Structure 1
């Protein structure tokens, strides 16, 4: 499988992270997203007319949406990450895959505005990002009340992979994660997984703080 990749893209990192966790081999093809703008080149647009990353190519198959790519990699190499084959868990996983797009459209845009000077309504992005983190925090509190450490159940799934990168990179867009102790507990659970890999920019400063004991909504 070939992944057209930008190392600082949270959506590309999702794919690299899942591939590491399920031990799937990826052939990484670096895309000069910034400052080169290679994703807008004629050659790249032949691969993905939308000009977005990540892109996964596996033989004749080309997938251009991170949720679809995650689903495909999991189905091929780690079916457990799709969740139990029950309506409840499959519905929860699908919901959080969609929620990942909301994080990208809010926190992700705030981050590219601040780091790459991409145009955006920064106040609206930050407001939507805060609302999304509050929703994520509330869902994780509810999960813990059910006895679950992860978003869709008692084990990690694509739901967690879809939300983790943008949640952790929120400070790059001027959105603090300090008010969300349950998100911090959740990220520690993910970091403890065998074969977890880091992304540049996702630091461990929050892990230097005392273990979260409270919850917020």
Structure 2
């Protein structure tokens, strides 16, 4: 069984819980006191991940760090449908990799603002908020043009991929860092679609989808 070293309020840990719920993967968690305990910098945790970062998984002795890398691993190993990380489609894999890197940018901006406001981390708040808005504008435009072409998801497929899971959490949690989504209607519609994926689970600050609108 997979063990997830987890912090309940971490968006990066949440994206793994979300994908494992969608895929029906059994797992257990080991809570790590990220704040205020800073347990991710403790000796025992640094033996798991010398970078001192969450999340980490242990899949029957195979230890892996980095949220995006773990998404790739989970989808490759456990997705029987082959749709979340379609290994037989090089173009789609390239697009997914592109958005996984984009998700890291969201983490370094939107998540940083949230850490600043909620956990008193020393970031240049105006810089990280401006960086998040720049990425949100890029994403909103991409999603809007996709909608005009009949595409609901980040990549050119008729189904979601791990790219959507990777980008979703810290966009949904952005307002906890003072970053409004009000000016990004395509992002808001996409977030609603993600919430309607079968197996979707919530976390603190991420709520279920509202009632579906009548056609």
TM-score bracket for this pair, using the shorter chain length: over 0.9
Counterpart CA distance in 2 for 1:171 and 1:34 is 19
Instruction: Tell me how far 1:207 sits from its aligned partner.
Output: 5.0
Cα deviation, 1:164-202, whole Å, max 9, x if unaligned, reads 001111101111001111111111111111110001112
Counterpart CA distance in 2 for 1:96 and 1:145 is 20
Give runs of aligned pairs for residues 41-120 of structure 1, distance below 5 A.
41-78=42-79, 79-83=82-86, 85-120=88-123
Cα deviation, 1:94-121, whole Å, max 9, x if unaligned, reads 1111111000000010000000001101
Stretches of 4+ moved more than 4 A in 1? none
Kept in 2, the 8 Å contact 1:15–1:70? The answer is yes
Counterpart CA distance in 2 for 1:154 and 1:123 is 37
For the structure 1 residues 202 and 132, does the alpha-carbon distance in structure 2 shift closer, same or farther, using more than 3 Å as the test? Answer: same
Kept in 2, the 8 Å contact 1:83–1:93? The answer is no
Kept in 1, the 8 Å contact 2:172–2:206? The answer is yes
What is the TM-score when the length of structure 1 is the normalising length? 0.92
* Unmatched segments (≥5 aa) in structure 2: none
Q: Give the superposed CA RMSD.
A: 1.7
Kept in 1, the 8 Å contact 2:83–2:159? The answer is no
What is the TM-score when the length of structure 2 is the normalising length? 0.93
Counterpart CA distance in 2 for 1:207 and 1:91 is 33
Instruction: Tell me how far 1:84 sits from its aligned partner.
Output: 6.5
* Unmatched segments (≥5 aa) in structure 1: 212-217
Kept in 1, the 8 Å contact 2:3–2:59? The answer is yes
Count how many residue pairs are aligned between Structure 1 and Structure 2: 209
Counterpart CA distance in 2 for 1:115 and 1:3 is 24
